[in-house]
Amino acid sequence: MNLSLNKIKILDKSFNYIISPEISEFRKFSPKLKIGVLASGNGTNFQELINLSEKGELDVDIKVLITNKDDAGCIKRARSVKIPHKIIRGRDFLQKELFELEIVNTLIHYDVELVVMAGWMKIVTPFFINKFKNKIINIHPSLLPAYKGGSAINDSILNGSKITGCSVHFVEEEVDSGSLIMQAALSIRDDDDIESLSKRIHMLEHKILPHSISHAGYLIRSNFMENC
Ligand code: GAR
């Protein structure tokens, strides 16, 4: 495979990164790919999907945003472009399966073809995964299988890693372990802290998540996954 070094400029500094597989054109979907986004936080990845969809570059119809946090920044982003959103809080349910059932029913209600976890900070159970088998993808801020879990960026700094990045993978039963779709790598600088490194990782996430959606959508639409 041919890998090349790319560059992003942030303010007065630029950084090199590498993406594999290399980015090509987005797939065309007609009708548009119906996606549901699960997010627990600020939602910058979600915003990038909104932007690319509005520009007509990524053929997705974002049917619904589901969040588990009342004050998540992603809610404002959904409201501002009138994407339906639903807050489903884990604490409102006696069992995790009932919490997930509510999520599943919402995704089915919106006729979602692909579920995109874009900063979803809850571990999902086999119940949920089996309802959308091979149709859930997740973005994670490390080069999996390194630094699984909820503090990946901090762990990479604390561990003295020199290279990290981000990964998009299909969601399978073991946490942060499903088959990889796309990864991007960058250097950790000596003076990096969690804020500076998160910022550069986010810029790469905004590149690989849309392309991973495009690829996963292609597999789903061509029934490739069902026949595996
Ligand atoms: C992203 O960095 C994503 O990789 C991470 O949450 C952030 C969400 O950012 N996800 C995980 O850590 C999942 N284990 P955003 O809200 O700005 O899109």
pLDDT tens, the chain, 228 aa long? 556 789 988 776 789 999 999 988 999 999 999 999 999 999 999 999 999 999 999 999 999 999 999 999 999 999 999 999 999 999 999 999 999 999 999 999 999 999 999 999 999 999 999 999 999 999 999 999 999 999 999 999 999 999 999 999 999 999 999 999 999 999 999 999 999 999 999 999 999 999 999 999 999 999 865 554
pLDDT at 2: 57
pTM of the model: 0.95
Residue 22 lies in a domain: no
Shortest-distance atom of ligand 1 to CA 176 = 14
Q: From 14, 48, 223, 218, select the one nearest 139 (Cα to Cα).
A: 48
Half-sphere exposure of 39 (CA within 13 A, CB side): 24
Kindly calculate the radius of gyration of the chain based on its CA atoms and give it in whole angstroms: 17
pLDDT at 3: 64
Residue 97 lies in a domain: yes
Residue 222 lies in a domain: yes
Residue 12 lies in a domain: no
148 by Cβ neighbours in 10 Å (0-12 / 13-18 / 19+) ranks as middle
* Amino acid at position 209, single letter: L
Residue 159 lies in a domain: yes
Residue 110 lies in a domain: yes
* Ligand 1 in reach of 106 Cβ (< 6 A): no
Residues 6+ apart with CB under 8 A from 223: none
Which positions are annotated as active-site residues? 140
Residue 10 lies in a domain: no
Ligand 1: which of 140, 199, 204, 209 to mutate, judged by most atoms within 8 Å of the beta carbon? 140
Residue 1 lies in a domain: no
**Domain span holding position 71:** 31-227
What's the CATH code of the domain at 44? 3.40.50.170
pLDDT at 111: 98
Number of domains in the chain: 1
